Chains A and B, each alone.
Chain A
Amino acid sequence: MAVTLEQTIEQRQHNWLSKVLSSQTFWVLIAIVVACLFLSFATDAFATAKNLYNITRNVTFVAIVALGMTLVIITGGIDLSVGSVLCLCSMVLAVVMHAGYSIEVGIAASIATALIIGAFNGVLIAYLNFPPFVVTLGMLSIARSLAMVASNNTVVFQFGPDHEKLLALGGGSIFGIANPVLYMIVLALITGFVLRWTRFGRYVFAIGGNEQAALLTGVPVRPIKVAVYMISALMAGIAGIVQTGWLGAVTTNIGTGMELQVIAAAVIGGANLAGGVGTAFGPLVGAALIEVIRNSLGLLGINAFWQGTFIGGAIILAVLFDRIRNLRQSE
């Protein structure tokens, strides 16, 4: 039977269903749904509006930062500085507003800080060929130290004339959905759109797939890498601003150790640390699974010391599925 050109062009390796079934994100999502169903029956406290509201809000900060991290991971890099950048950006916002400036000035200063740090990381990595691990490890230390310098290591909880606006920004809700959740959804939609439908997104995947090939075919590899680290820092900055509004106070230890949670969320959500693979939906699902595990252990009365074991187990289990799939493919 003759195959027409149209059939060849339309020919897909997997249909829609098999693509969904073979994605790590889908199975993590199933795990979350099963866990939630189990918890709603096992405990009275889980399926209450207040608890669900708390869970969704807690997920968001890790998820927002993990969106930027996912872009970095797709290019084959890593950004360890996000927790400290979040702290520094929160502190810049707090200090500027505390000094009597408006919320707009505070946010602008905070975002500018994030972009400068991201550009610094990106330029060292892309143009001077520093290993991403080393540069961002250095920045992890630098950014937190700068936050301490900026605030003299004090707690800031007075945000000047726009104090109420800031609290509403992070702590408010629209139609019963917490503001941070809305920000997360909007940012995830933008990230998803960029990855799928823009040339920039295509190049991010190409760099992670084969950086040399991207260079040879004329992809502007270096500017794109810089942009990716700037986006990662920007996401950390945005999360910092929102978290400041939600908490109503900033200390110099917020975001400590957050980089590991963020990387875990990205990896559970299907991003591959070797580069070239990742989605915008993945980190949300990954962050949600981590939060559900944390929440459920508390509600089930399991000693909090076990938390790390369960989250670590989830990371390894999620990647195990991916390994099994790859093994089957290579056979």
Chain B
Amino acid sequence: MAVLELTNISKHFGAIHAVNDVSLSLEAGQVVGLMGDNGAGKSTLVKMIAGNFRPTYGAMKLDGSEIVMHRPVEARQHGIEIVHQDLALCNNLTAAANVFLGRELHLGVWPLRILDYAAMYKRAGEIFKELKSETRPRDLIKQMSGGQRQAVAIARTMLSDAKIVLMDEPTAAISVRQVAEVLNLIRHLRDRGIAVVLISHRMPDVFSVADRVIVLRRGRKVADKPIADTSPEEVTGLITGAIEQR
């Protein structure tokens, strides 16, 4: 059964139809590559799943029941996690502090509640180990490599039992060696049974890690097929419009 099912979703900003009548479903333990040119509607679509925008038309079903979200926090409560393109990390804080940002662990009861540093360092350390990352919980973000930063952003999604992880261009601004590291992190999420949506411009990344590819053009879905049944050439054609919908 599909974890998330979008039926005829549209988002209009005044006269601009950013996303038009898109239906798709995400399966547990599957990586879906979401591709399309700039302005094709990728970001808008993802922002609707993440609770930033409400669809103008259409329905969203999570585990078979319809959901309506007004704020990003609600998406998180539903088990939908996002790794933002700029990673949303605070350079002046430690890795552990960033992993737990917005959901810190506490000791004691209000008003005598204090941050539970030991527990947060421990849990963050365990997650980094599980991700096979060299990131250390007490290190400051500003002294980390691009790959380590990605690991911190991804570790956030593993705090709760996420069902869906949306990744916005995770390999856009990092070195080749670190790309391999990030792709491994994505495979790791998949093996945990999470549905991963990988938004990317990089054809090799999508073809090495995704199970399925969805192509958007001008707000419409023009392809949705298993990665084995397609080729980078065909996807490029679909993105640019050289190949019509199929």
**Interface residues, chain A, CB within 8 Å of chain B?**
5, 8-13, 197-199, 202, 205-206, 208-210, 212-214, 216-219, 276-277, 329
Contacts and interface: CB of A to CB of B under 8 A. Distances in A.
B231 interface: no
B122 interface: yes
A213 B106 contact: no
Contact of A212 (B86, B106, B115): B86
A8 B102 contact: no
Contacts of A212: 86, 88
Nearest to A329: B143
Contact of B138 (A5, A13, A213, A277): A13
Nearest to A275: B92
21 contacts: A5-B129, A8-B129, A9-B125, A9-B136, A9-B138, A13-B139, A13-B140, A197-B114, A199-B113, A199-B115, A202-B97, A205-B90, A206-B97, A209-B91, A209-B92, A210-B90, A213-B87, A217-B101, A218-B72, A219-B101, A219-B102
Given A205-B90, A209-B91, A276-B91, A218 B73 contact: yes
A9 B90 contact: no
Interface in B69-85: 72-73, 76, 82, 84
Nearest to B137: A9
Contact of A205 (B88, B92, B121, B139): B92
Given A276-B90, A277-B92, A9 B72 contact: no
Contacts of B86: 212-213
Most chain A beta carbons < 10 A, residue from B72, B102, B137 = B102
Contacts of B128: 8
A218 B125 contact: no
A316 to B, nearest CB: 23
B180 to A, nearest CB: 21
Which 4 pairs show the lowest CB-CB distances between chains A and B? A209-B90, A213-B88, A9-B125, A276-B92
A210 B114 contact: no
B75 to A, nearest CB: 10
A8 B136 contact: yes
Contacts of B76: 218
A241 B125 CA distance: 48
B103 interface: yes
B194 interface: no
A208 B92 CA distance: 8
B90 A213 contact: yes
B106 A199 contact: yes
Given A217-B88, A276-B90, A198 B122 contact: no
A10 B90 CA distance: 21
A327 to B, nearest CB: 14
A213 B99 CA distance: 12
B205 interface: no
B6 interface: no
Contacts of A5: 125-126, 129
Nearest to B116: A197
A8 B73 CA distance: 31
B122 A218 contact: no
Nearest to A199: B104
Nearest to B134: A8
Nearest to A11: B136
B91 A216 contact: no
B22 interface: no
B136 A198 contact: no
B46 interface: no
B145 to A, nearest CB: 14
